[in-house]
Every structure is written in structure tokens, then in C-alpha cells.
Amino acid sequence: MLTLDRLTAGYGPVTALQDVSFTAGKGQITAVLGANGAGKTTLLRTVSGLHRPESGTIALDGQPLRKVTAEQMPALGMVHVPEGRGVITELTIEENLRLGGLAKGGKFRSEDLQRVFDLFPVLADRRAGLAHTLSGGERQMLVIGRALMSEPRLLLLDEPSLGLAPRIVAQIFDLLRGLVDDQGLSVLLVEQNARSALSVADHGIVLNLGRVVADEAASVLAADDQLRHAYLGF
Ligand SMILES: Nc1ncnc2c1ncn2[C@@H]1O[C@H](COP(=O)(O)OP(=O)(O)OP(=O)(O)O)[C@@H](O)[C@H]1O
């Protein structure tokens, strides 16, 4: 689905990613793990066209994404959900979702809204309420719902568990698993919470100082004590 080949990116003299290569499979959750500063956010921003790599290629379904801008990504079936739950708190929940429907450049479709409300009944119940009234977990559901409005094939998620209670993280990851299993969505999941991410992912990539140090089935990574202690903090 998504293939990175020797991707190198940085910020002036700082190299954030060095020769990063891996494939995120179709209909799978691929977790990108690593400590603070490992390069995870830079990786997602580079894949979604927000940060220009110094070298290497990114291909979606075999098509190189060279020169594709962030604005064009939803039309290609890829949506980025950045860290920090960027809901617009002054708008209602429904208005926030409608914005996601516009990302693809087409017309808003009420069936997309209904589809998202079916997935997140908690948002449907409060559709006319202002987004600032939502809890952290509900805001995370809202930004995922907003991303789903453009019917992506690939969802890029940056730290969805950040600041959420374990029970809410489990609920959100279960939901993602359902989307992948039932609707064939593919997910690239960047997480510092490696234990939870590996419990839901099919595959895991471990980054350390911008380099891939492991690229394995999630179950293999979770069972590798040495790697867990060295890089994943659990
Ligand atoms: N805007 C920037 N300018 C300069 N250096 C940056 C910038 N953003 C990130 N970096 C550096 O690039 C490296 C990778 O950072 P990145 O944010 O991608 O890591 P991360 O794994 O996402 O960490 P975190 O979990 O803390 O967000 C780090 O050394 C970081 O200090």
C-alpha cells in the first residue's frame, strides 16, 4: 500500500530520518514506534507532504508521490490526523465533521456524515454541541471521524493515545481494528505507547535516532524482550 524507500529528511543540520525503508501493508495496522525524537512525527509529516524529504521515495499503491502536496493527499485516499487533536472548538461536532468531507475537494455528502455517526454514536448524540464540550477521548474520536469523512484508504495517525486514560485508548484502538477488519482501511499508526500500539497492530517498525532498527510482525516485536527494553520502554 505505502512504500518508503531510503527516505532521508531533516531540519537543516539535524537529520531526523536516515535511509528509512519499509512497507505498510494494505488492510493492516502498521505501528511506527520509538522514543522521543526518534523521528516518528517527521516520518508522518513527510509521508503526508507537509515536510519535504532530502532524498528517497514514497509510493502509494506503487505510484511515487513526488511533487504531491498535502492538499492533494485526501483525493489520493490518504488522510493525516496530526498529534494534538486539532478540533475546532468553536464549531459544533457536526460542523467539524463536515470540514473533513470537504478535504477531498468534492461536495459534502450526508451519507458520509451518517456513516461516521454510525461508527461513533457518542458524536451523533451530541452533533449540535460545541466541540469544546468533548472530553479528550471524544475529541480523538472526532478527529478520526473527520478524517473518515473523505473515505480514505490510508489513515496516518500521530499519537492518538496521547494524554488518554488506558481504557479510552483501548476503546479507540478497538475501533481502529474494526475499521481495518471490516472496511479494509490501512493505518499507519505513530505511537510512543508501544505496548498498546503493538497489541492492536499487525506490523511494527521501530525507529531509533531516525533509523529503522526493527521491522517485524507486531507479535514478534512484543515478544522480543531485548528490543522492548532497549527501544520501547516496556
Ligand atoms: N522543526 C524542527 N526543527 C529542528 N529540529 C526538529 C524539528 N522538528 C523535529 N526536530 C528534530 O528532529 C528529530 C526527530 O523529531 P520528531 O519530532 O520527528 O521525533 P518523534 O519521534 O516524533 O518525537 P516526539 O514523540 O517527541 O514527537 C529530533 O531530533 C527533533 O529534535
Q: Give tens-digit pLDDT for 106-163.
A: 677 889 999 999 999 999 999 999 999 999 999 999 999 999 998 999 999 999 999 8
In a domain, 11, yes or no: yes
In a domain, 135, yes or no: no
Amino acid letter for position 193: N
In a domain, 218, yes or no: yes
Exposure of 86 in the CB half-sphere (CA atoms within 13 A): 10
Atom of ligand 1 nearest to the CA of 192: 25
Q: Which of 7, 8, 14, 231 for a ligand 1 pocket mutation test, highest count of atoms within 8 Å of Cβ?
A: 14
What is the tally of helices (H) and strands (E) in the chain? 10, 10
ipTM of the complex: 0.95
Split into its structural domains, the chain has a count of 1
Range of the domain at 21: 2-82+151-232
Q: What phi, psi does 8 have (nearest 5°)? A: -125, 130
Cβ(34) – ligand 1 distance below 6 Å = yes
Q: Give percent of the chain with pLDDT exceeding 70.
A: 99
- Interval between CA 17 and ligand 1 midpoint (Å): 10
How many whole angstroms separate alpha carbon 227 and alpha carbon 210? Answer: 16
Question: What pTM was computed for the model?
Answer: 0.94
What is the per-residue pLDDT for 108?
79
